[in-house]
């Protein structure tokens, strides 16, 4: 599947969602039809409000882009059933140049593997097992099908049994003596136009007679055989060919390998590769959620290239990217944040600009290239810009943002001020969400000075809900920090209404927290007047505190 996912960071905010949709639209309109907008986290009430307002569906949810078995498996599965005849399986293997076939029942569940190696050993026994070469495990009907012959006289044709094959190519006397060394009703006699041999076989009460060469069976022979309930088959082949084919009339279930390794189609490719490499198997059935065979995997399939690619928007740090981003090709990055430590194997398009939102950059792509910007997409980009710049009141807002916002207002026929009022008045996150979910809705992970930490941000109209839920937010933040093994975790609650300021809650290393110089209102809670930007104001300050902490952060 040659899809290119245009995707924002984990726990996406409005700008991440809107810029992903917008940039995918831009790529589609400039020739990259395989670009698909995606997200790796849930939407929130404000994002849902934006999507409803402009009538655009949410991007596709993708939790993990790491290569899966489904990316390389063979979906056109050639198989046989347990009741298939080995000769038919051999024909399929020869036609498709296969060495192994999965054996599937009527529900498409795998019952084993049929290998050409094991089948050949069965059909052509080694020198110390030559006696097996005369054993035929089959039914009369399966023998007829294998030989492509004709069932002239039939008695219990579907009864599967183990027969002993005897070739009627000797004198009548010798043949008669030969028959006496076997249990007669287990004998399968292969004979040409020797009517005398045919009659002796009937008199001895054999199970069945195969007359080779397409030779007509005389009426009196048929009458004798009918009287003794002996089946008669006409084979179009000569005696040598017929005797060789008889053993191939065995049902597949008797010659399959019941020991095999299977994988789930959604399992990580890397883990499956290691397990497959350590096994002696060459082919592996791939199962779906119902344990039905969805594909087949061979060791050579692991060498196939992964065609899935990524375009990252609104972030450029691998710690914030969708899971598995480090295992697939990243071909573009569109962002307005600081440049992190992400590296790529090949040169890529990296557009990073000091503006207030990624939506600003995406809109500018349309304008610079003269590409038509549909009004609903313009509305989304307006929402992303308004959200990230607090409608141009954030210190991150620039004159470029203001210029772009004016154009987006015209195209989308949306008044930014009126939209911002409705957008920020959308349901309170702290009012509606459980504390563990509220603190991770817009949360980003960072690595600096050898320390891994997280900063989440919640935008509210006032701080009333924060103070009501302070204790449970503190408890949830500490649980999240411990679970993720962070040096510290911070929650920035921003009043986007009258005060345009924030409260900061921090848990983690005590020495680090002591370095925070903002007014402390309560243990772990600080007042940040005129601070509204995580990116431009809070993050640089916390990194400064981290550096002052020194070796304790390592």
DSSP string, 243-258: HHHHGGGSBGGGT-B-
pLDDT digits 0-9 by tens, 304-315: 888 899 999 999
pLDDT digits 0-9 by tens, 248-290: 999 999 999 889 999 999 999 988 998 998 888 889 999 999 9
Three-point CA angle 448, 451, 455, nearest 5°: 75
Return all residues near 111 (Cβ < 8 A) that are at least 6 apart: 82, 103, 104, 105, 253, 256, 258
Handedness of CA 92, 96, 97, 102 (dihedral sign): negative
Domain interval for residue 541: 429-553
10 Å CB burial of residue 493 (0-12, 13-18, 19+) is: buried
**pLDDT reported for residue 45:** 85
Strand 4-7 relative to strand 35-39: parallel, antiparallel, unpaired? parallel
Q: Which among 394, 424, 454 is the end of a domain?
A: 424
**pLDDT reported for residue 213:** 94
Same domain, 438 and 537: yes
- Among candidate residues 552, 524, 554, the one with its CA nearest the CA of residue 448: 554
Same domain, 400 and 446: no
- Among candidate residues 214, 180, 212, 217, the one with its CA nearest the CA of residue 199: 217
Look up residue 217 and give its DSSP letter.
Answer: P
- Among candidate residues 315, 341, 346, the one with its CA nearest the CA of residue 330: 346
Percent of the chain residues past pLDDT 90, beyond the cut: 79
Site of tokens 């056109």: 76
Model confidence at 130, pLDDT cuts 50, 70, 90, reads: low
Q: Which among 384, 406, 424 is the end of a domain?
A: 424
Half-sphere exposure of 103 (CA within 13 A, CB side): 24
- Among candidate residues 549, 521, 471, 120, the one with its CA nearest the CA of residue 479: 471
Average pLDDT over residues 514-536: 93
Same domain, 332 and 439: no
Instruction: Give domain status of residue 99, yes or no.
Output: no
DSSP string for residues in 39-63: ESS---HHHHHHHHHHT-PPPEE-S
Q: Which two tokens stand for residue 466?
A: 């924060």
pLDDT digits 0-9 by tens, 179-199: 988 999 999 999 999 999 999
Handedness of CA 97, 103, 107, 110 (dihedral sign): negative
* 3-state SS assignment for residue 283: strand
* 3-state SS assignment for residue 301: helix
Q: Which two tokens stand for residue 79?
A: 């198989």
Q: Is 33:6 a contact under the CB 8 Å cutoff?
A: no
Return all residues near 410 (Cβ < 8 A) that are at least 6 apart: none
Q: Is 145:170 a contact under the CB 8 Å cutoff?
A: no
Instruction: Give domain status of residue 61, yes or no.
Output: yes
Q: Which among 424, 455, 479 is the end of a domain?
A: 424
Instruction: Give domain status of residue 271, yes or no.
Output: no
Same domain, 380 and 473: no
Q: Is 424 left (phi over 0), alpha (psi -120 to 50) or beta?
A: alpha
Same domain, 379 and 456: no
Phi, psi of 2 (to 5 degrees): -95, 50
Same domain, 412 and 451: no
Same domain, 23 and 39: yes
pLDDT digits 0-9 by tens, 447-482: 998 899 999 999 988 898 999 999 999 999 999 999
Interhelix angle 358-369/375-389, rounded to 10 degrees, is 140
Instruction: Give domain status of residue 402, yes or no.
Output: yes
* pTM of the shown model: 0.69
Instruction: Give domain status of residue 327, yes or no.
Output: yes
Instruction: Give domain status of residue 217, yes or no.
Output: no
Site of tokens 């094991």: 118
Same domain, 549 and 452: yes
The mean predicted confidence, pLDDT, of the chain is: 92
Q: What is the CATH number of the domain that holds 417?
A: 3.90.1640.10
Q: How many domains does the chain have?
A: 2
Instruction: Give domain status of residue 32, yes or no.
Output: yes
**pLDDT reported for residue 128:** 67
Handedness of CA 482, 484, 487, 488 (dihedral sign): negative
pLDDT digits 0-9 by tens, 410-422: 999 999 999 998 8
Same domain, 413 and 459: no
Same domain, 542 and 454: yes
Same domain, 405 and 451: no
Same domain, 380 and 479: no
């Amino acid at each position: 599947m040659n899809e290119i996912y245009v995707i924002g960071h984990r726990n996406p905010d409005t700008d991440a969602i809107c810029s992903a949709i917008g940039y995918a639209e831009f790529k589609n309109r400039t020739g990259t039809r395989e670009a698909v907008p995606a997200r790796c986290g849930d939407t929130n009430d404000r994002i849902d409000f934006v999507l409803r307002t402009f009538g655009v569906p949410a991007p596709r949810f993708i939790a993990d882009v790491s290569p899966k078995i489904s990316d390389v498996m063979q979906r056109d599965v050639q198989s046989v059933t347990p009741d298939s005849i080995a000769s038919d399986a051999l024909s399929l293997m020869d036609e498709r140049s296969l060495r192994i076939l999965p054996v599937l029942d009527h529900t498409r569940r795998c019952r084993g593997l049929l290998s050409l190696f094991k089948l050949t050993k069965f059909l052509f026994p080694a020198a110390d097992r030559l006696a097996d070469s005369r054993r035929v495990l089959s039914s009369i009907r399966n023998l007829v099908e294998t030989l492509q012959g004709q069932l002239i006289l039939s008695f219990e044709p579907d009864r599967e049994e183990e027969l002993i094959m005897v070739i009627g190519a000797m004198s009548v006397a010798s043949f008669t003596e030969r028959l006496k060394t076997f249990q007669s009703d287990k004998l399968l006699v292969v004979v040409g136009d020797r009517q005398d041999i045919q009659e002796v076989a009937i008199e001895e009460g054999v199970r069945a007679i195969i007359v080779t060469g397409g030779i007509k069976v005389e009426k009196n022979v048929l009458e004798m055989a009918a009287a003794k309930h002996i089946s008669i088959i006409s084979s179009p082949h000569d005696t040598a060919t017929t005797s060789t084919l008889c053993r191939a009339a065995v049902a597949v279930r008797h010659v399959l390998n019941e020991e095999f390794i299977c994988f789930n189609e959604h399992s990580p490719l890397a883990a499956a590769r290691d397990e497959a490499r350590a096994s002696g198997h060459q082919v592996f059935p791939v199962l779906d959620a119902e344990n039905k065979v969805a594909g087949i995997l061979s060791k050579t399939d692991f060498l196939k290239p992964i065609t899935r690619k990524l375009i990252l928007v609104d972030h450029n740090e691998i710690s914030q990217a969708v899971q598995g981003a480090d295992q697939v090709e990243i071909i573009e990055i569109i962002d307005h944040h600081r440049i992190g430590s992400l590296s790529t194997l090949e040169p890529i398009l990296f557009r990073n600009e000091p503006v207030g939102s990624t939506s600003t950059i995406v809109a500018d792509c349309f304008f610079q290239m003269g590409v038509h910007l549909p009004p609903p997409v313009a509305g989304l980009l307006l929402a992303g810009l308004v959200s990230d710049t607090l409608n141009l009141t954030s210190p991150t807002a620039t004159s470029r943002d203001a210029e772009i916002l004016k154009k987006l207002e015209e195209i989308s026929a949306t008044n930014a001020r009126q939209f911002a009022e409705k957008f920020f008045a959308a349901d309170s996150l702290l009012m509606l969400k459980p504390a563990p979910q509220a603190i991770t809705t817009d949360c980003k992970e960072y690595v600096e000075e050898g320390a891994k930490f997280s900063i989440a941000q919640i935008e509210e109209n006032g701080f009333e809900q924060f103070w009501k839920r302070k204790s449970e937010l503190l408890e949830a933040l500490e649980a999240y920090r411990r679970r993720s093994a962070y040096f510290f975790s911070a929650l920035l609650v921003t009043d986007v209404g009258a005060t345009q300021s924030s409260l900061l809650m921090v848990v983690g290393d005590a020495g680090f927290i002591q370095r925070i110089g903002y007014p402390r209102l309560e243990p772990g809670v600080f007042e940040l007047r005129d601070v509204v930007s995580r990116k431009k104001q809070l993050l640089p300050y916390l990194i400064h505190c981290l550096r002052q902490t020194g070796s304790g952060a390592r």
